[in-house]
Protein backbone atom coordinates (compact mmCIF):
# COMPACT_ATOMS: atom_id res chain seq x y z
CA UNK A 1 0.00 0.00 0.00
CA UNK A 2 1.39 3.35 -1.01
CA UNK A 3 0.39 6.02 1.45
CA UNK A 4 1.13 9.75 1.36
CA UNK A 5 1.14 11.05 4.86
CA UNK A 6 2.18 14.60 4.01
CA UNK A 7 -0.01 17.60 3.48
CA UNK A 8 2.09 18.81 0.55
CA UNK A 9 2.17 15.49 -1.25
CA UNK A 10 -1.53 15.02 -0.70
CA UNK A 11 -2.35 18.52 -1.94
CA UNK A 12 -0.05 18.11 -4.94
CA UNK A 13 -1.69 14.78 -5.82
CA UNK A 14 -5.12 16.32 -5.50
CA UNK A 15 -4.30 19.15 -7.93
CA UNK A 16 -2.58 16.74 -10.31
CA UNK A 17 -5.73 14.65 -10.27
CA UNK A 18 -7.84 17.74 -10.88
CA UNK A 19 -5.65 18.90 -13.79
CA UNK A 20 -5.76 15.45 -15.39
CA UNK A 21 -9.53 15.38 -15.02
CA UNK A 22 -9.78 18.81 -16.69
CA UNK A 23 -7.41 17.73 -19.48
CA UNK A 24 -9.58 14.69 -20.13
CA UNK A 25 -12.93 16.48 -20.13
CA UNK A 26 -13.26 20.25 -20.16
CA UNK A 27 -10.21 21.04 -22.32
CA UNK A 28 -11.06 18.65 -25.20
CA UNK A 29 -14.71 19.72 -25.18
CA UNK A 30 -13.74 23.39 -25.20
CA UNK A 31 -11.21 22.97 -28.03
CA UNK A 32 -13.54 20.79 -30.08
CA UNK A 33 -16.26 23.37 -29.73
CA UNK A 34 -13.89 26.08 -30.97
CA UNK A 35 -12.89 24.03 -34.01
CA UNK A 36 -16.54 23.44 -34.72
CA UNK A 37 -17.40 27.13 -34.42
CA UNK A 38 -14.49 28.13 -36.66
CA UNK A 39 -15.51 25.67 -39.36
CA UNK A 40 -19.05 27.00 -39.27
CA UNK A 41 -17.74 30.56 -39.51
CA UNK A 42 -15.52 29.74 -42.50
CA UNK A 43 -18.40 28.06 -44.19
CA UNK A 44 -20.76 30.97 -43.80
CA UNK A 45 -18.30 33.74 -44.49
CA UNK A 46 -16.31 32.28 -47.33
CA UNK A 47 -18.85 29.78 -48.60
CA UNK A 48 -16.14 27.21 -48.89
CA UNK A 49 -13.57 25.33 -46.85
CA UNK A 50 -10.16 25.49 -48.46
CA UNK A 51 -7.51 22.85 -47.94
CA UNK A 52 -5.39 25.12 -45.79
CA UNK A 53 -8.13 25.62 -43.20
CA UNK A 54 -9.06 21.96 -43.12
CA UNK A 55 -5.41 21.08 -42.59
CA UNK A 56 -5.07 23.64 -39.81
CA UNK A 57 -8.16 22.47 -37.98
CA UNK A 58 -7.19 18.85 -38.41
CA UNK A 59 -3.87 19.68 -36.76
CA UNK A 60 -5.74 21.24 -33.84
CA UNK A 61 -7.89 18.12 -33.60
CA UNK A 62 -4.76 15.95 -33.38
CA UNK A 63 -3.53 18.12 -30.50
CA UNK A 64 -6.76 17.43 -28.65
CA UNK A 65 -6.35 13.69 -29.11
CA UNK A 66 -2.74 13.87 -27.92
CA UNK A 67 -3.64 15.91 -24.82
CA UNK A 68 -6.47 13.53 -23.97
CA UNK A 69 -4.39 10.40 -24.52
CA UNK A 70 -1.48 11.63 -22.42
CA UNK A 71 -3.75 12.71 -19.56
CA UNK A 72 -5.72 9.47 -19.75
CA UNK A 73 -2.58 7.32 -19.77
CA UNK A 74 -1.13 9.11 -16.77
CA UNK A 75 -4.44 8.92 -14.92
CA UNK A 76 -4.77 5.18 -15.57
CA UNK A 77 -1.18 4.58 -14.48
CA UNK A 78 -1.73 6.43 -11.20
CA UNK A 79 -5.24 5.27 -10.46
CA UNK A 80 -4.16 1.84 -9.27
CA UNK A 81 -5.71 0.10 -6.31
CA UNK A 82 -2.49 0.23 -4.30
CA UNK A 83 -1.98 3.93 -4.95
CA UNK A 84 -3.95 5.16 -1.95
CA UNK A 85 -2.52 8.62 -2.41
CA UNK A 86 -4.00 9.14 -5.84
CA UNK A 87 -7.28 7.37 -5.21
CA UNK A 88 -8.11 9.15 -1.97
CA UNK A 89 -6.73 12.60 -2.61
CA UNK A 90 -10.23 14.02 -2.64
CA UNK A 91 -11.48 17.42 -1.55
CA UNK A 92 -13.05 16.00 1.62
CA UNK A 93 -9.99 14.03 2.64
CA UNK A 94 -7.70 17.02 2.04
CA UNK A 95 -10.04 19.27 4.00
CA UNK A 96 -10.08 16.94 6.96
CA UNK A 97 -6.34 16.30 6.69
CA UNK A 98 -5.58 20.02 6.53
CA UNK A 99 -7.86 20.86 9.49
CA UNK A 100 -6.31 18.12 11.58
CA UNK A 101 -2.80 19.01 10.42
CA UNK A 102 -3.09 22.62 11.57
CA UNK A 103 -4.99 21.72 14.71
CA UNK A 104 -2.22 19.33 15.71
CA UNK A 105 0.64 21.54 14.57
CA UNK A 106 1.29 23.34 17.82
CA UNK A 107 -0.05 20.67 20.14
CA UNK A 108 2.40 19.03 22.48
CA UNK A 109 1.92 15.54 21.14
CA UNK A 110 4.85 13.46 20.00
CA UNK A 111 5.42 13.38 16.26
CA UNK A 112 4.70 9.69 15.91
CA UNK A 113 1.22 10.18 17.32
CA UNK A 114 0.61 13.13 15.04
CA UNK A 115 1.77 11.07 12.12
CA UNK A 116 -0.44 8.15 13.12
CA UNK A 117 -3.38 10.47 13.57
CA UNK A 118 -2.97 11.98 10.13
CA UNK A 119 -2.35 8.67 8.46
CA UNK A 120 -5.55 7.41 9.96
CA UNK A 121 -7.49 9.96 7.93
CA UNK A 122 -6.12 8.36 4.79
CA UNK A 123 -6.37 4.88 6.19
CA UNK A 124 -10.05 5.17 7.04
CA UNK A 125 -10.79 6.27 3.48
CA UNK A 126 -8.72 3.37 2.23
CA UNK A 127 -10.35 0.86 4.56
CA UNK A 128 -13.79 1.75 3.29
CA UNK A 129 -13.15 0.10 -0.02
CA UNK A 130 -10.46 -2.46 0.46
CA UNK A 131 -10.67 -3.26 4.15
CA UNK A 132 -11.06 -6.93 3.41
CA UNK A 133 -7.78 -7.02 1.52
CA UNK A 134 -5.96 -5.13 4.25
CA UNK A 135 -7.00 -7.51 6.97
CA UNK A 136 -6.69 -10.69 4.99
CA UNK A 137 -3.27 -10.01 3.58
CA UNK A 138 -1.54 -11.53 6.55
CA UNK A 139 1.30 -12.94 4.50
CA UNK A 140 2.42 -9.58 3.19
CA UNK A 141 4.47 -6.89 4.93
CA UNK A 142 5.25 -9.10 7.89
CA UNK A 143 8.78 -7.80 8.23
CA UNK A 144 7.45 -4.54 9.54
CA UNK A 145 7.29 -4.85 13.31
CA UNK A 146 4.66 -2.22 13.77
CA UNK A 147 2.38 -3.80 11.20
CA UNK A 148 2.76 -7.15 12.90
CA UNK A 149 1.95 -5.61 16.25
CA UNK A 150 -1.20 -3.97 14.90
CA UNK A 151 -2.20 -7.22 13.23
CA UNK A 152 -1.82 -9.14 16.48
CA UNK A 153 -3.90 -6.55 18.21
CA UNK A 154 -6.56 -6.95 15.54
CA UNK A 155 -6.35 -10.72 15.74
CA UNK A 156 -6.89 -10.59 19.50
CA UNK A 157 -9.90 -8.37 19.27
CA UNK A 158 -11.16 -9.59 15.95
CA UNK A 159 -13.59 -12.24 16.99
CA UNK A 160 -13.15 -15.26 14.79
CA UNK A 161 -16.80 -16.09 15.06
CA UNK A 162 -18.14 -19.02 13.07
CA UNK A 163 -21.77 -19.95 13.07
CA UNK A 164 -23.47 -21.09 9.90
CA UNK A 165 -26.97 -20.88 11.37
CA UNK A 166 -28.87 -18.35 9.31
CA UNK A 167 -30.58 -16.27 11.92
CA UNK A 168 -32.56 -13.38 10.53
CA UNK A 169 -30.80 -14.31 7.30
CA UNK A 170 -27.33 -13.53 8.60
CA UNK A 171 -24.65 -16.08 9.33
CA UNK A 172 -21.01 -15.70 10.27
CA UNK A 173 -18.06 -17.70 8.97
CA UNK A 174 -14.49 -17.02 10.10
CA UNK A 175 -15.43 -13.55 11.17
CA UNK A 176 -17.14 -12.70 7.89
CA UNK A 177 -20.77 -11.64 8.08
CA UNK A 178 -22.87 -13.11 5.27
CA UNK A 179 -26.22 -11.61 4.40
CA UNK A 180 -28.61 -12.31 1.49
CA UNK A 181 -28.07 -10.59 -1.80
CA UNK A 182 -30.94 -8.27 -2.57
CA UNK A 183 -33.10 -9.78 -5.29
CA UNK A 184 -35.66 -7.43 -6.70
CA UNK A 185 -39.13 -8.73 -6.04
CA UNK A 186 -37.98 -11.45 -3.66
CA UNK A 187 -39.11 -10.15 -0.33
CA UNK A 188 -37.21 -12.73 1.68
CA UNK A 189 -33.95 -11.15 0.54
CA UNK A 190 -34.91 -7.63 1.51
CA UNK A 191 -33.14 -6.31 4.55
CA UNK A 192 -35.46 -5.51 7.40
CA UNK A 193 -38.10 -8.08 6.50
CA UNK A 194 -36.67 -10.63 8.93
CA UNK A 195 -36.29 -8.28 11.87
CA UNK A 196 -39.50 -9.18 13.66
CA UNK A 197 -39.74 -12.74 12.33
CA UNK A 198 -37.73 -14.29 15.11
CA UNK A 199 -39.99 -14.05 18.15
CA UNK A 200 -37.49 -15.80 20.41
CA UNK A 201 -34.96 -13.21 19.32
CA UNK A 202 -32.62 -16.14 18.83
CA UNK A 203 -29.27 -14.83 17.68
CA UNK A 204 -30.54 -11.35 18.45
CA UNK A 205 -31.17 -11.61 22.16
CA UNK A 206 -29.30 -8.54 23.29
CA UNK A 207 -30.87 -5.34 24.64
CA UNK A 208 -31.48 -3.70 21.27
CA UNK A 209 -31.89 -6.66 18.99
CA UNK A 210 -28.64 -6.47 17.02
CA UNK A 211 -27.07 -9.57 15.54
CA UNK A 212 -25.34 -11.06 18.58
CA UNK A 213 -21.92 -11.31 16.98
CA UNK A 214 -22.06 -7.73 15.82
CA UNK A 215 -23.33 -6.66 19.23
CA UNK A 216 -20.39 -8.37 20.93
CA UNK A 217 -17.97 -6.47 18.72
CA UNK A 218 -19.79 -3.21 19.38
CA UNK A 219 -19.77 -3.65 23.15
CA UNK A 220 -16.07 -4.61 23.17
CA UNK A 221 -15.37 -1.52 21.11
CA UNK A 222 -17.45 0.82 23.28
CA UNK A 223 -15.93 -0.64 26.46
CA UNK A 224 -12.42 -0.12 25.15
CA UNK A 225 -13.35 3.47 24.28
CA UNK A 226 -14.59 3.97 27.81
CA UNK A 227 -11.34 2.54 29.23
CA UNK A 228 -9.53 5.17 27.20
CA UNK A 229 -11.78 7.89 28.56
CA UNK A 230 -14.13 8.28 25.59
CA UNK A 231 -17.88 8.03 25.78
CA UNK A 232 -19.59 6.46 22.79
CA UNK A 233 -23.08 4.99 22.72
CA UNK A 234 -24.72 2.72 20.15
CA UNK A 235 -28.19 3.29 18.74
CA UNK A 236 -31.04 1.58 20.57
CA UNK A 237 -32.49 0.42 17.25
CA UNK A 238 -30.63 -2.85 16.69
CA UNK A 239 -32.57 -4.13 13.70
CA UNK A 240 -34.45 -1.75 11.44
CA UNK A 241 -37.60 -3.08 9.83
CA UNK A 242 -38.25 -2.83 6.09
CA UNK A 243 -41.20 -0.54 6.80
CA UNK A 244 -39.04 1.81 8.88
CA UNK A 245 -36.48 1.93 6.07
CA UNK A 246 -39.26 2.84 3.61
CA UNK A 247 -40.31 5.59 5.98
CA UNK A 248 -36.75 6.92 6.27
CA UNK A 249 -36.26 6.69 2.52
CA UNK A 250 -39.42 8.66 1.82
CA UNK A 251 -38.99 11.28 4.49
CA UNK A 252 -35.25 11.95 4.46
CA UNK A 253 -33.26 13.85 1.85
CA UNK A 254 -32.58 11.61 -1.14
CA UNK A 255 -29.29 9.82 -0.70
CA UNK A 256 -29.43 9.98 3.05
CA UNK A 257 -31.19 6.70 3.77
CA UNK A 258 -30.38 3.52 1.85
CA UNK A 259 -32.90 2.23 -0.67
CA UNK A 260 -35.39 -0.01 1.20
CA UNK A 261 -34.09 -3.56 1.22
CA UNK A 262 -30.44 -2.60 1.04
CA UNK A 263 -29.63 -1.24 4.48
CA UNK A 264 -27.43 -3.36 6.72
CA UNK A 265 -29.41 -1.91 9.62
CA UNK A 266 -32.16 -4.29 8.50
CA UNK A 267 -29.96 -7.29 9.25
CA UNK A 268 -28.90 -5.98 12.63
CA UNK A 269 -25.30 -5.58 11.50
CA UNK A 270 -25.00 -1.80 11.41
CA UNK A 271 -25.27 0.82 14.11
CA UNK A 272 -25.38 4.57 14.38
CA UNK A 273 -23.17 5.85 17.15
CA UNK A 274 -23.37 8.89 19.34
CA UNK A 275 -20.08 10.54 20.28
CA UNK A 276 -19.56 12.59 23.42
CA UNK A 277 -17.14 15.30 24.43
CA UNK A 278 -15.18 15.08 27.67
CA UNK A 279 -17.69 17.39 29.36
CA UNK A 280 -20.43 14.84 28.65
CA UNK A 281 -22.19 16.77 25.90
CA UNK A 282 -22.86 15.22 22.50
CA UNK A 283 -20.42 16.19 19.71
CA UNK A 284 -22.44 18.34 17.32
CA UNK A 285 -22.53 17.70 13.55
CA UNK A 286 -19.77 19.20 11.50
CA UNK A 287 -17.32 17.70 13.96
CA UNK A 288 -13.92 16.41 13.00
CA UNK A 289 -11.93 13.56 14.52
CA UNK A 290 -9.91 16.22 16.27
CA UNK A 291 -12.72 18.44 17.57
CA UNK A 292 -14.50 15.32 18.80
CA UNK A 293 -11.78 13.08 20.28
CA UNK A 294 -14.14 10.20 21.07
CA UNK A 295 -15.01 10.04 17.38
CA UNK A 296 -11.33 10.38 16.49
CA UNK A 297 -10.59 7.42 18.71
CA UNK A 298 -13.47 5.46 17.19
CA UNK A 299 -12.41 6.08 13.59
CA UNK A 300 -8.85 5.21 14.42
CA UNK A 301 -9.47 2.03 16.40
CA UNK A 302 -12.63 0.48 14.97
CA UNK A 303 -10.73 -1.92 12.73
CA UNK A 304 -9.15 -3.54 15.79
CA UNK A 305 -12.62 -4.77 16.69
CA UNK A 306 -13.52 -5.92 13.20
CA UNK A 307 -15.54 -2.77 12.63
CA UNK A 308 -15.44 0.01 10.08
CA UNK A 309 -17.03 3.35 9.23
CA UNK A 310 -17.82 2.92 5.53
CA UNK A 311 -19.51 6.28 4.94
CA UNK A 312 -16.76 8.69 5.94
CA UNK A 313 -16.32 9.81 2.35
CA UNK A 314 -19.79 9.17 1.02
CA UNK A 315 -21.63 12.05 -0.65
CA UNK A 316 -23.63 12.18 2.55
CA UNK A 317 -20.89 11.69 5.03
CA UNK A 318 -22.05 9.58 7.97
CA UNK A 319 -19.25 9.63 10.48
CA UNK A 320 -21.43 7.76 12.97
CA UNK A 321 -22.43 4.73 10.88
CA UNK A 322 -20.52 1.58 11.80
CA UNK A 323 -20.55 -1.93 10.27
CA UNK A 324 -18.50 -5.12 10.45
CA UNK A 325 -15.35 -4.90 8.35
CA UNK A 326 -15.67 -8.25 6.66
CA UNK A 327 -19.05 -8.85 5.10
CA UNK A 328 -20.31 -10.47 1.98
CA UNK A 329 -23.56 -11.38 0.28
CA UNK A 330 -24.69 -14.91 -0.47
ZN1 LIG B 1 -26.64 4.08 9.76
The domain that holds 264 is classified in CATH as 3.30.1380.10
For residue 256, report the distance from its CA to the centre of ligand 1, in Å.
Answer: 9
Q: Enter the pTM of the model.
A: 0.57
Listed residues: CB within 5 A of ion ligand 1: 272, 321
For residue 99, report the distance from its CA to the centre of ligand 1, in Å.
Answer: 25
User: Domain for residue 113, yes or no?
Assistant: no
User: Domain for residue 132, yes or no?
Assistant: no
For residue 291, report the distance from its CA to the centre of ligand 1, in Å.
Answer: 21
For residue 146, report the distance from its CA to the centre of ligand 1, in Å.
Answer: 32
Domain containing residue 239: 156-329
For residue 116, report the distance from its CA to the centre of ligand 1, in Å.
Answer: 27
Q: Domain end: 60, 87, 114, which one?
A: 87
CA 129 to centroid of chain Cα atoms: 6
For residue 297, report the distance from its CA to the centre of ligand 1, in Å.
Answer: 19
Per residue of the chain (330 residues), give pLDDT as tens: 456 788 888 899 999 999 999 999 999 999 999 988 888 888 777 666 677 778 888 898 999 999 999 999 999 999 886 677 887 788 877 887 887 787 777 766 667 667 766 776 666 555 443 433 444 444 444 445 555 565 566 666 667 788 888 888 899 988 889 999 888 778 888 999 888 677 677 889 888 999 999 999 999 999 999 999 999 999 999 999 888 988 888 888 777 788 888 899 999 999 999 999 999 999 998 899 989 999 999 999 998 898 999 888 877 789 999 999 888 888
User: Domain for residue 142, yes or no?
Assistant: no
Counting the structural domains of the chain, the total is: 2
Q: Domain end: 43, 65, 87, which one?
A: 87
For residue 246, report the distance from its CA to the centre of ligand 1, in Å.
Answer: 14
For residue 254, report the distance from its CA to the centre of ligand 1, in Å.
Answer: 15
Amino acid sequence: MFSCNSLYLLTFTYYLKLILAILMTIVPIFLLERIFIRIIQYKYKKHRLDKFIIKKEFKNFVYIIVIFTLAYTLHTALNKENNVCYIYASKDVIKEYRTTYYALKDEKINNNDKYAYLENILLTSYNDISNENTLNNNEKDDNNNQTTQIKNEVEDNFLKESDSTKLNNVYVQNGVFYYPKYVYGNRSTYSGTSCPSNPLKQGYNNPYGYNNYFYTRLTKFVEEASKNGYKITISTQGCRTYETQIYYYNTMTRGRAAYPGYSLHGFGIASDLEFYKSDGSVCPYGRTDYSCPSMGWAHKNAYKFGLTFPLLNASYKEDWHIEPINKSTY
